[in-house]
Structure formats: structure tokens, C-alpha cells
């Protein structure tokens, strides 16, 4: 269900007013940046999870497309809170998006005019108790020398979409895993990836991946709860991944998603593993304000 309102360049407007002209570089070439943020129901009303980190990333892609975000972090925080209050939503997904908006078809001389919107979406899925199936896609993750992989630029998601189509066309797989340009495991289409081997959590190092905020949260939680030396960031080959005791994906939307099989090969016993379940429960409690130690990660709306 769609909320009744969205925020567009300073104003809360009815949902159907959230439009941009077709002849703009945002639409024509995917030139824009976006974010995906969650807010959760807590005892003290809705709270946004790791908002400053998401907004820092939101302003980052604007450099990579040659312009700056039109709003400061404070203005965006205010706008997001105001919109959540106006819709009355208690939990959901927040999608800020900034698109280059000058009406022109030429790619050589694109101005700096930006249209910024904040869109909310109802999203109440809870912890995932079943494992998903994944396939390693033929489509490689974008080369870091071609595009800035750390930026959430709209056009980059052609890469994700192609990987998803590739695995969906080769069977009934839930998720696509992309290798980087050198053939090491990179990430999923919109999630980072972890494997667990002999109690150690291993995740691809940065370079060809989007350094996810959920990935960062998981590394902190794992070090705090499972042991200081429990996390390794390193290159992972596809074979290593298939030999993991557990594999899971993670991202703002998916949270922590257990993977039961990859390319038809069962991971562990095919069910969500012990470490994955422990991290899922911790993540859920932290996001809902149940663990005081991480209260700094929550921005309350009221
Ligand atoms: N990789 C890609 C390509 C993504 O789009 C996302 C979703 N933002 C992630 C990883 C996970 O990032 P985060 O945990 O910050 O949502």
C-alpha cells in the first residue's frame, strides 16, 4: 500500500504529484543518487535506523555525477521526520532520491539542477525464518575503474537488474550473487554477503562492493557479541563460498537473509545457521531500540 503523501523539493505533496519530466538526465541516463533507509516501531514511537550514515551516503553520489545535493543533512532529517509524522506510519522504508532535472537530451552539457524527493513505502516484513536459494550470475559486478561502486547512483542498478534477470532466466532462484571483475565474490544485487566458516565471519573486502551500512552493523555486532577477532574482510573465491558452513545476505531492505543453497549446492544443512539466527535476532532488537548500547543508531521521529 502506498502512503498518501511524499516530499518533493521542500513540500509535502499528494502521492500522484511525485513526477519528473521525461526529458531530463535523471530519467534518460539514470543520473541521480538515492538511498534506502528503514524506520522501525519502538516503545518510543517510530525510529530511523542509522540515519546520519545513510544521509552521508546520499550526498556522496552527487559528486560522482557532477553535482551537489540541494539540501543539507539537517534539512533532510527534518523533511523525513515531517513526512513520517504526516503519513502516520509506524514503520517502513524511506527512499530519498535526487535526479538531475534540467530538461535536455544532450549528455555533454547537463546543468546542475536537481529534483529531490523523499518517498516512503510500507515495509513490515519480519525476520526471515527460511533460507533462500541463490545463483552466481554470469553478470559481473561493475568494474570499479568504470563507475564509482561506493555510490548509490540510479543508473548503476542496470547491473543489479541484469544479474537478477540472468538467474531468474536460468531457473527458480531467489537471489543473484555477482562476482567482481577478477572473479571473486562481490555481493548480491542489492545486498552484501557474508559466509561463516569454523565460527569466523568472512565478507568480501571493499573495492568492488557497495560498502553497506547493514554490513557495517553486522561487523560491529559480531565483534561485540561473538568475539573481537571473529570478522575477516578478504577476497572470497566462489569455491570458498560454496564450502561455507553458513552464508547470508544483508541489506537495509532484506536485513539478514539466510542462504540455503547456491547454484543448487546446499550450504550447511540448507537451513538458517546458528550464527545467522543469532545475528538476525540481535539486529532485530537493535533496530527496534531494545539494546541500549546502540541507542546512538536510532533517530526518533517524535
Ligand atoms: N549492495 C548493493 C548493490 C545495494 O544496493 C545495497 C542496498 N543499499 C547493499 C549492498 C546493502 O547496503 P545497505 O546495508 O547499506 O542497505
Q: Which residue's CA is the nearest one to ligand 1's atom 9?
A: 191
What is the position in ligand 1's atom list of the atom closest to the CA of 209?
1
Q: Which residue's CA is the nearest one to ligand 1's atom 7?
A: 190
Residue 278 pLDDT exceeds 70: yes
Q: Which residue's CA is the nearest one to ligand 1's atom 3?
A: 190
Cell reading at 208: 568492488
Average pLDDT for residues 266-282, to the nearest whole number? 97
Q: Please tell me if the CB atom of residue 187 comes closer than 6 angstroms to any atom of ligand 1.
A: yes
| Distance in Å, CA 85 to ligand 1 centroid | 26
Question: CA separation (Å) from 288 to 52, 156, 249?
Answer: 17, 31, 20
Q: Please tell me if the CB atom of residue 61 comes closer than 6 angstroms to any atom of ligand 1.
A: no
Q: Please tell me if the CB atom of residue 226 comes closer than 6 angstroms to any atom of ligand 1.
A: no
Average pLDDT score, the chain: 96
Query: What is the longest distance spanned by two Cα atoms in the chain?
Result: 56
Tell me which of 61 and 177 has the higher pLDDT.
177
Average pLDDT for residues 9-37, to the nearest whole number? 97
Query: Any residues with CB less than 8 A from the CB of 241 and at least 6 apart, and which?
Result: 177, 185, 193, 195, 247, 262
Decide: 280 and 256 in contact? Cβ < 8 Å: yes
Residue 155: its pLDDT value, please?
97
198-223: pLDDT as tens digits: 999 999 999 999 999 999 999 999 99
DSSP secondary structure string, 83-105?
Answer: HHHHHT-SSEEEEEEEEE--S--
Average pLDDT for residues 151-175, to the nearest whole number? 97
Q: Please tell me if the CB atom of residue 212 comes closer than 6 angstroms to any atom of ligand 1.
A: yes
Residue 126 pLDDT exceeds 90: no
Q: Please tell me if the CB atom of residue 213 comes closer than 6 angstroms to any atom of ligand 1.
A: yes
Residue 294 pLDDT exceeds 80: yes
Q: Can you tell me the distance from the alpha carbon of 133 to that of 216, in angstroms, rounded to the nearest whole number?
A: 24
Active site residues: 152
Helix axes 51-59, 213-225, angle to 10 degrees: 140
Q: Which of 169, 168, 163, 206 is nearest to 184 (CA)?
A: 206
100-120: pLDDT as tens digits: 999 999 998 888 899 999 999
Q: Which residue's CA is the nearest one to ligand 1's atom 12?
A: 212
The position carrying cell 547537463 is 110
For the entire predicted model, the pTM comes to 0.97
Mutate to test the pocket of ligand 1, among 123, 156, 191, 204 (most ligand atoms within 8 A of CB): 191
Amino acid at each position: 500500500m502506498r502512503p498518501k503523501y511524499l516530499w518533493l523539493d521542500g513540500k509535502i505533496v499528494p502521492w500522484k504529484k511525485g513526477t519528473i519530466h521525461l526529458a531530463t538526465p535523471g530519467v534518460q541516463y539514470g543520473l541521480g543518487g538515492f538511498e534506502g533507509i528503514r524506520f522501525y516501531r519502538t516503545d518510543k514511537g517510530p525510529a530511523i535506523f542509522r540515519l546520519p550514515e545513510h544521509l552521508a551516503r546520499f550526498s556522496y553520489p552527487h559528486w560522482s555525477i557532477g553535482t551537489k545535493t540541494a539540501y543539507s543533512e539537517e534539512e533532510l532529517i527534518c523533511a523525513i521526520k515531517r513526512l513520517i509524522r504526516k503519513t502516520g506510519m509506524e514503520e517502513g522504508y524511506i527512499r530519498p532520491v535526487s535526479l538531475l532535472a534540467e530538461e535536455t537530451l544532450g549528455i555533454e552539457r547537463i546543468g546542475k539542477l536537481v529534483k529531490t524527493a523523499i518517498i516512503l513505502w510500507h515495509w513490515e516484513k519480519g525476520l526471515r525464518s527460511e533460507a533462500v536459494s541463490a545463483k552466481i550470475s554470469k553478470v559481473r559486478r561493475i568494474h570499479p575503474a568504470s563507475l564509482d561502486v561506493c555510490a548509490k547512483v540510479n543508473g548503476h542498478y542496470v547491473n543489479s537488474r541484469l544479474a537478477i534477470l540472468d538467474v531468474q532466466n536460468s531457473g527458480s532462484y531467489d537471489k543473484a550473487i555477482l562476482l567482481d571483475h577478477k572473479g571473486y565474490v562481490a555481493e548480491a544485487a542489492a545486498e552484501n554477503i557474508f559466509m561463516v566458516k569454523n565460527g569466523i565471519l568472512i565478507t568480501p573486502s571493499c573495492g568492488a562492493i557497495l560498502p553497506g551500512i547493514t554490513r557495517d552493523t553486522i561487523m560491529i555486532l559480531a565483534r561485540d557479541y561473538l568475539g573481537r577477532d571473529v570478522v575477516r574482510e578478504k577476497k572470497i573465491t566462489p569455491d570458498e563460498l560454496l564450502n561455507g558452513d553458513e552464508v547470508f545476505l544483508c541489506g537495509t531492505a532484506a536485513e539478514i537473509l539466510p542462504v540455503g543453497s547456491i547454484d543448487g549446492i546446499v550450504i550447511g544443512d540448507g537451513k538458517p545457521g546458528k550464527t545467522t539466527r543469532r545475528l538476525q535476532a540481535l539486529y532485530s532488537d537493535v533496530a527496534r531500540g531494545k539494546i541500549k548500547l546502540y541507542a546512538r543508531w536510532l533517530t526518533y521521529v517524535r
